[in-house]
Structures are given as C-alpha cells and as structure tokens.
Amino acid sequence: MSLNTSYITPNPRLGTGFGIFTSTFASLVVLLIILEQLGLARSLISQLIIVLPIVFYAAIGLYVRTTVVEDYFIAGQRVPPLYNGLALSANVVSGAGLLGLTGCFFFIGYDALPIALGWCAGLGLMSILLAPYLRKMGAYTLPGFFSIRFSSRICRVVTALLLIPPVLMLLVAELHIGRSVASIFLRSDPDFILQIGCLLLAVTVIFGGMRALTWTQCAQFIVVILSISVPLIAVSILVTNLPLPQLSFGTIIQQLAEMEAQRGVAPAFVQPLGDVLPGDDATQLNKPFGVMLESLGAGDFIALTLCFMLGAAVLPTQIPRMSTTPSVSSVRKSIGWAAIFVGFIVLTIPAFAAFTKFQVALDLLGIPASQIPDSGAVLSQLGLLEISPNSLDPALGNAEIAFYRDYVALMLPVLNDFPFVLIGLIGAAALAAVMAAAGGQLVTLANVIANDFYHPFHQTASPARRLLVARLGLIAIIIAAYLLTTQTEFDPLRLLIQAFSVSAGTFFAPLILAIWWKGLTQFGAICGMVVGLAVTALQFTVSPGVAILGVDPLTAGMLGVPLSLLAAIGGSMVSPKPSDETLEIVNEIGIPSGETVHARLTRLAARGKALKP
C-alpha cells in the first residue's frame, strides 16, 4: 500500500453533480411553496422540508462508498480546493455555532463578535503556520502526525486519548441542537427523533468515511448558504429595498437603537463572560444591539477571540482535511475558499440577527398582550418564544416576552408572514450544519480508533480489517454520543466554547513547536498536551464561574496555552535530545513541496526498511 505522490485529477463532473443537487433542492423549495398555497398541511410541509434533504445526504454517502484505505481515511487526496473549502467551513461553523451565534447577536449585539472573529482568524493562522506542513506530513489524523514526527507509538496513543474529550464535546453539542430543531418541525418524541437522526448520520458516513463525509459536507454547506440567504434577502428587500442584507442592515441600526430605548432595553454594565452570554433557556431582551464592549469587558472580548482563533486553528476535525487535497498549493487555496465561505456566514449572521431584532422591537416589544400580532401567536405555538402578561389585566398590561437563543434564527420568516416553507428552510439549514459538523467529528473519532489505537499494534492486519475497525468504532461512538446527549444537561453553546478552549489549550503549543522547533522531544510534547488539557479541564470543573488571573472558565484555554508551552519546552529540556532520524523528519516537513513523509515511510515499509506509519 502506498500513497500516490503524483497529483491525482479530480472528478471533472463534480460541478455538474453539485449543480444538479442545488437545482433539485431549489426545486423542492419552490414546489413546496406552491403546494402550501394550494392547501398542503403544514405538518406535511415540515416533514418534507426537513426529511428529504437528509435523505439526499444519505444517498450521496452511500453512492460514494469505498473499500480503499486512502479513500476512506483521506478521500484519496483528490478533493479540489473549492470543495475542501466547503468542508472546512462546515467543520468550523457547525450547527451549534450557526444558531448559537445568531442568538448571541440577537441578545448582546456586537459583543458576540469574538466568536465570528475567532473563526476567521483561526483559518488565517492555520494557513500560515500549519497547513502546508501538515499536508507535507500526510498523516491521516492528528495523533498520526505526532507519531511520525517523533517515531513514537506512545505519543500517538496519548494524543489519541487526549483528542477524544474535545471532539466528543463538539459531537454531543451538535446532537443536542439537532434534536431541539428537529423536534419543532417533526412534533415527535425528541429522543426518538435523535435515534433516527443518529442512524441517518451513521449511514451517511459509515461506508465511505472521509470520502463520503467530504461530498456530503459540500452538499450540506450549500444548503446552509442558500437556506439562510433566501429569507434574509427577501426581508432586506422589504425593509431597505436592497437585496444585500450584509451591507444594508446598517440602515436599520439607528432605528433599532431608538426603538430599544423606547421599549426599555437599556445599556448594561460590564459583567463576566459567563453572565453576558445568553443561556439556552427563555430570556428577555435587556441589552442594545449596536454598542460594543458594553456588557462584555475588553479582557473577555480578547480572550474569547483568542480561544476560538487558536481552537479553530488546531481543531482535530480540521487536521485530516490538510491531507485530502492533491498538493500543498491546493491546501492553501482550500483555506482561502473556507475563509470566503466562513466570512460570508460571519457577515450574514449579524444581519440576520439585526433584522430579526428590528422586527421584534417593531411588533412585539412593549405591546399589550391583547394587541400582539398573529405572528407572535404562531411563534408561541411553535415554541420559539414565551409570552405572558405582566399585570393582572392582560388587556392593559404590556406582554413580557422571552426568547430562546437557539431558536432566534427560525423567527425571521414568521415575523414577516412568509410562507411556512421558509421557516422549514431555516430548519433545514440548521440541520444541514449539524449533520456536516457531527459527521466530521464522528469520522475523526472513528479514524482515530482505527489508525491510532488499532493499526500501530496490528500492522499486519488487512485493509479490510482496518476499515471494519473504523466502522465498528463509528457505531460505538454514535451510541456513546447519543447516551451522553440524552442523559446529561448542558448548554450547547457553552459546550462548544469549552471544546474550542480545550483544543487550544491541549494541542496548539505542542503542534506549533512540533513544526517550528527542532528541539521538541516526545516527552516534551506529551507534557505540553497533558498539562494543557489538565489546566483547562480543571478550571471548568473545579472553579466554574470563578475567574483565575482574570480568565473566565469558559476561556480556560487561555491559561492552558501558555502553561502547555512552558511544559513542552521544559519537558524537552530535561529529556534526551531528538535523534537524527527525528531531525531529518523535521527538516523534511519544513519543505512543503514533494512527496509526503507518510508516503515515503509507507514506501520504505513495503521494502522492510521502516515501520508502517
């Protein structure tokens, strides 16, 4: 078995295939709008707009199934930059991020910017410091990178163990969001919906691995982009007469500020990060939209930005994507495309939240309960908000309205009396983002089981056995994630932030040093990762709600990163110097072009001159 070191020609019909998919999805939406006007029941519309796209994703995953190791673990290194960029974007944004960030902008306005800034900055950091060198290594997983870098099985296994917590946290957060959104439209038992969702998610990726994941993520992120754009553009035309909501929503900010002041949404004082971020329960509006650093302090603003930036740069689901493209230049272009797509989302989400809050301030805030429009009643029936009168006489008292952070994105079509299909369209976007991110996390963990726990100790196992282990591992992971989702209570946005924080604290410093410092040893890398994870996790669990050295527990990775760096350097200083073979590998990855290190070692292993990587 060897990796092809020549540049493999991508499928020339990819554009045609995704063009057909996009046209089919658009046709489905148009058809459902027509059928709704003809009297089709909303319950059936909900089922069709939510279920049919998921069936499409599963069909794509089954169609591209494979039994080839390179295809299963790194998509055969045939993914063009545009499509790899779509997949990278899906990993970064995720369903929890998409809905959570929209809700944060709705509740705390521009104080939610650190999340968006961190996503974009993380991609830039990855492009400059990591991507070319990870591609040169050619490893299937993050533990595989450290294994080749230090020629060490111990380092591989330790890294694999440390990788599980942040990825599993991300996966559980996605499943929670997916269950919540799907329950609104399918009106069935949430746990049963989650069971079906987990089954469909597993079917989508289990037979094709990274290959199936790549093409389904592309389709899913196309759905995300289209589905959030259509209602927003329609609202923008109605309100501003311009079809560019990302650029035109500034015209309503002043009006929104005046309405907020009239309706008692007063400026807030600076609070700790954990108190500023809205929770996942029903919450009333109490912070203006258009003022930055009003409720969130400058220190927390910077820390949250760095948390997402460093976490996104070393996110374990992103590392294998560096090995799926034909060349180093393709990796750089992939991240360029990802920056464009994520940038589009980052520009769209504030506009989405601003138009939603503008409509809420216009129609719902400060309105007597008896005068609330029909849209408010529909939102209440759907469970997207809670309405209660604040006086003994509902006809005279203004209504108290509480909103759910993760459902804010679903409110805009209702507030503007759009067809019900467009509400389902936002739901389809949310579930597409959930499945794209959850699929990436699921495949990452399954590949770690096959490549980092099983393969190093069973190097004579056949490729079929290795793929079987990956598929069985995938089944075990989805069952474990389902149980964690149903048996524990948590806020998915806070869990998302903690996962990025853990990733940053655990992996950023050792990974940077592994590429840029020849003196890093196996012991130093392990010390850095263990200390980073321990410090970050301890602040989550031992001192929740208590800032240490000014660092909020949610951004504990900002303590983990420097301590991890010191531990890695200190551990390297007290351990034996790297061998000549290790130094040769460091020099090799410093020259991004040419044959990957993984391919070279695989070729030598076939001749009995090296162990299989």
- Residue 44: CB partners within 8 Å, gap ≥ 6? none
| Tally of domains within the chain | 1
For residue 444, being part of any structural domain is answered with yes
What is each CA distance from 46 to 49, 52, 102, 420, 424, in whole angstroms? 5, 10, 22, 8, 6
Q: Which domain holds residue 250?
A: 14-369+408-606
Cross-strand bridge partners of residue 564: none
The residues near 241 (Cβ < 8 Å, ≥ 6 apart) are none
**What is the average pLDDT across 246-268?**
82
Is there a domain that residue 374 lies in? no
Please check whether residue 503 is in contact with residue 164, taking contact to mean a CB–CB distance below 8 angstroms: no
In a domain, 129, yes or no: yes
CA atoms within 13 A on the CB side of 403: 28
Q: Which segment of 44-53, 70-79, 314-323, 534-543 scores lowest on mean pLDDT?
A: 534-543
Question: pLDDT of 127-165, one tens digit each?
Answer: 999 999 999 998 999 999 999 999 999 999 999 999 999
CATH number at 419 reads: 1.20.1730.10
Q: Does residue 141 sit within a domain?
A: yes
Contact (CB, 8 A) for 443 and 245: no
What does the pLDDT look like over 71-128, one tens digit per residue?
999 998 899 999 999 999 999 999 999 999 999 999 999 999 999 999 999 999 999 9
Q: How far apart are CA 179 and CA 195, in angstroms?
A: 9
> Quick check: is 586 in a domain?
yes
Give, in order, the Cα–Cα distances in Å from 117 to each of 306, 359, 442: 9, 26, 26
Interval 498-524: pLDDT, tens: 999 999 999 999 999 999 999 999 999
Domain presence at residue 139: yes
Flag whether 356 is in a domain.
yes
Q: At what angle do helices 597-606 and 142-150 cross, to 10 degrees?
A: 70
- Report d(CA 435, CA 221) in Å as an integer: 10
Beta bridge partners of 548: 551
| pTM for this predicted structure | 0.94
Q: Examine residue 388 and state whether it is found in any structural domain, yes or no.
A: no
**Cα dist. 209→204, 279, 469, 600 in Å?**
9, 35, 12, 24
Using the predicted structure, report yes or no on whether residue 51 has a pLDDT greater than 70.
yes
